[in-house]
Structure 1
Amino acid sequence: MKAKSYAYILVLIFSAGACVSPPDNFPTVPEISYEGLSYLEVDGASDSLKVAINFRDAEGDLGLDPREDNPPYNPLFFLTDENGDYITYSNRPEDAPSYNPRDWAVEPTINNETIEDTLWVEHNPDYYNIFVRFFIKRNGTFNEFKWTDAPYYTTFDGRFPLILNDNNQRAVEGTIEYAMLSSGWRSIFRNDTVRLDLQIQDRALNKSNVISTPEFTLNQIQQQ
């Protein structure tokens, strides 16, 4: 039996445990499975919806440093016109969206220079390495609840930290706990039946399989 060593990482709202040198038949594309769910309400602070997933990966190239924002991990793409100029809100084309905090960036910094204007942007999905979709069950059918739409204009996609702290690739397995913080869980979902779909991505931009949590209500998974 191969020896196994364990390393635990705690960064912001993520924790990840990695088991180094497991069996050699691990996949190059990350593989994940469902582990658990919990919901915690906190007086005077954001409430936490936490999901735990198991992972396996042959190279161990999982995780991103919070400071990594250069391509391909840049957060935004700045849209340009046919002349290659940035599209500003005051000179937006007819097909551009009205102002909202997701499609427009106010005075962004590009190449260490602050642009004193409001620019049309697209969000780069490769900035993240964990992807979460929400579904609400109505009349027996699950329909997606899209956080990117009005009035929220946000996402619960995120980043988990580097599993390995060196450049030596090796097989890893472990568990990622991802806590999503909000003061609005109860007001939005109330007694709704909800399901989450999750996926992760490695540093080479290989996406894992998609997993679904069991359907749940907040009351069913609430911690006392």
Structure 2
Amino acid sequence: MLGVAGTMISCKPNKDNVSAVPKLTFLGIYKFNSGYGYDSFVEIDLGYEDSDGDLGLDDADTMPPFGNKQTEFHNLKVYYQQKIGVSWVNPMNPLLGPSDTLVLHERIRNITPTGHSKAVHGNLVLNIPARPFQYRGDTVRFTIQFTDRALHKSNIIVTPSILLEHP
């Protein structure tokens, strides 16, 4: 449902310049029209950095808390929010019932570099359907946070709102 593209730009030789707690930077949010008068998907561009490079998970990372259906199985938390009146709400997922909010979490693969220096920084590109799970919010934003393997949580990114057109 959510497409993710990641690029490790380089390793930093000086660990003092980057924190062991991952950091996210908002770079942009863009909507893409289907060509039929409505939006097809939203692209969110983020930067990331981490001094010890323990970002991402391997397929073998299945022990608690990284196992399926456990709290940290998804290490990139993406929350879909819709503006209703003057308030931002986390809408219910129309396919899962009244107790499940619409989330677009992802499990990002291990991006730790080989070699002596483990510090990383790079860019993540998230491609999100304009109508995830058939939900049709009009004024939306996204709240995003990354968790590393040491369970350090990054800062929280809240994107600017965008207006989506639906069929």
TM-score > 0.5, shorter chain as reference: yes
Offset of 1:27 from its aligned partner?
1.0
> What is the CA–CA distance in structure 2 between the aligned matches of 1:36 and 1:187, rounded to whole Å?
24
1:74 and 2:22 matched: no
Q: 5+ residue gaps in structure 2? A: none
Aligned to 1:143: 89
Larger radius of gyration: 1
1:194 and 2:140 matched: yes
1:38–1:186 Cα change, 3 Å = farther
1:31 and 2:23 matched: yes
Task: Give the % identical residues.
Answer: 26
> What is the CA–CA distance in structure 2 between the aligned matches of 1:159 and 1:167, rounded to whole Å?
24
Contact 2:53 2:113 (8 Å CA) reproduced: no
> What is the CA–CA distance in structure 2 between the aligned matches of 1:162 and 1:17, rounded to whole Å?
12
Aligned to 1:20: 11
Aligned to 2:160: 214
Equivalence map 1:50-61=2 (5 Å): 50-61=43-54
Offset of 1:146 from its aligned partner?
3.8
In the alignment of these two chains, the number of paired residues is 156
SS in 1 for 2:108: coil
In structure 2, give the amino acid aligned to 1:161.
R
Contact 1:186 1:218 (8 Å CA) reproduced: no
Offset of 1:158 from its aligned partner?
0.9
> What is the CA–CA distance in structure 1 between the aligned matches of 2:55 and 2:64, rounded to whole Å?
17
> What is the CA–CA distance in structure 1 between the aligned matches of 2:84 and 2:18, rounded to whole Å?
39
Offset of 1:186 from its aligned partner?
9.7
CA displacement 1:115-151 (0-9 Å, x = unmatched): xxxxxxxxx1210110011211121221222439616
SS in 2 for 1:125: coil
Contact 1:193 1:217 (8 Å CA) reproduced: yes
TM-score by length of 2: 0.77
Residue 157 of structure 1, aligned match among 99, 105, 108: 105
SS in 1 for 2:135: helix
